[in-house]
Structure 1
Amino acid sequence: MATPSPQISVALFSEDPLSLSGIQTLLRPRPEIDLLHREEQQQAQVAVVVEHTIGDDVLVTLRRIQRSDCSRIVLVAEDVNGIQLAKITECGVTGLVMRSEVTPEHVVNVIETVAHGGGHLPSGLLGDLLGEIGRLQRQRVRPNGFPSIGLTDREIQVLRLCSEGHSTSEIADELKYSERTIKNILHALMERFQFRNRSQAVAYAIRMGLF
């Protein structure tokens, strides 16, 4: 008798309770999938993130997951354009499922592909991704060959720690600065780029591939 394949441990993430409930209902009966409880999420082989739209808050969530032990990410989303596709790829997404294509078989197949080191994009989106990556590369470099990003090394360090969920005091301790200095760094950065909040600043650094 054939030995059954081991289950793939999966952590689920969504800001929408209905979406979270829906993906749980879809995956729970599947024998290939072991759905983990919230306190076990760090042990997951694959993280499945379900969102309607891809905003800065979603990019921050994806980057946080990418930096955890669970680095393989499948995103289920309503619609994704070329710009968003490049952003989520930078944030570690290797499997993308459009909501219109969601079936138990398809989602499980993408999870299995990602768990074994592969990737999945909906048909027709690869060209969009390659085109956007090329555009971003041209945009990031000035004619003289120097990067056009506009962040100092210290600002990048601060934003990297922000992306990992650290408080201002924790960032100050980590970088050996005063808390006031960290606040001043963030305030100056917000003013210079006209960011509305820290999440927007972090998302900008992510898009520029700075961490």
Structure 2
Amino acid sequence: MTAPIRVLVCDDQMLVRTGLVTIIDAQPDLEVAGECGDGQAAVDLAARLRPDVVVMDVRMPVLDGIRATALLAGAGVPSPAKVLVVTTFNLDEYVYEALRAGASGFLLKDAPPAQLLHGIRTVAAGAALLAPEVTRQLVGRYASRIRPADGDAPEVSLTPRELEVLRLVADGRSNSEIAATLVISPETVKTFVSRILAKLGLRDRVQAVVYAFRHGLVT
């Protein structure tokens, strides 16, 4: 049997946290590895428990969920965690900041349990939870913040075709749409995307979109 996906639940509201724990533990393929009520505790527990996914609230005492996510999954973290941000606040700013901090996905707490469980499984599998077009809209709205200054863009070690694929990913295209545009198979697109992520040290398509904007590859 496949080992269950181990989840760390972090939320400062005990009632909400208990509900999340109950929903997750009821699934045969999921297991709550630990729970806590603030971001610093999440960072400390994650280092000790090594969960597959951290379910993270945004507004919490001691250390908020955005800063905790950056410590767990941000750039330069040796063994980044996979973080699914779950919050009551449906603000673009929070979504953007969560993704920039390294989160792999974003859900609202009023989402049905099935969507939460799907989100955990999706993030655990290494995929991004947000649709690419939604990600592009959010990152594009804040592109001026994350683009480097003129002449400051780093060298990108991608082939011309890999750059084409990356630009199309950042444009919100699905694998099938990219395949149709470049007249290649969807399987070939998947290979290119995997190669791009590996070359650039990125975890998923969300990070690829952010990378493309930061390095001026998308206008």
Classify the TM-score, shorter chain.
Answer: 0.5 to 0.7
Percent of pairs with identical residues: 16
In structure 1, the residue corresponding to 2:26 is in which secondary structure?
coil
Aligned residue among 69, 85, 89 for 2:99: 89
Q: Quote the Cα distance in structure 1 between the aligned partners of 2:145 and 2:4.
A: 38
Per chain length, whose mean CA-contact separation is higher, i.e. which structure has more relative contact order (CA < 8 Å, sep 6+)?
1
Q: Who is 1:152 aligned against?
A: none
Q: Who is 2:183 aligned against?
A: none
Q: Who is 2:87 aligned against?
A: 77
Question: Is the CA contact 1:19–1:50 (under 8 Å) kept in the aligned structure 2?
Answer: no
Q: Deviations over 1:153-192 (max 9, x none)?
A: xxxxxxxxxxxxxxxxxxxxxxxxxxxxxxxxxxxxxxxx
Aligned residue among 113, 120, 123 for 1:114: 123
Q: What displacement does 1:5 show?
A: 3.8
Larger radius of gyration: 1
State the TM-score, normalizing by the size of structure 2.
0.53
Q: Deviations over 1:185-208 (max 9, x none)?
A: xxxxxxxxxxxxxxxxxxxxxxxx
Return closer, same or farther for 1:68/1:61 CA change in 2, 3 Å cut-off: farther
Q: Quote the Cα distance in structure 1 between the aligned partners of 2:80 and 2:143.
A: 29
Q: Quote the Cα distance in structure 2 between the aligned partners of 1:76 and 1:22.
A: 13
**RMSD of aligned alpha carbons:** 3.1
Q: Quote the Cα distance in structure 1 between the aligned partners of 2:132 and 2:102.
A: 19
Q: Who is 2:5 aligned against?
A: 8
Q: Quote the Cα distance in structure 2 between the aligned partners of 1:57 and 1:22.
A: 20
User: Paired residues, what number?
Assistant: 139
Matched, 1:46 2:46: no
Gaps of 5+ in 2: 36-43, 154-213, 215-219
State the TM-score, normalizing by the size of structure 1.
0.55
Aligned residue among 81, 95, 98 for 2:108: 98
Return closer, same or farther for 1:23/1:123 CA change in 2, 3 Å cut-off: farther
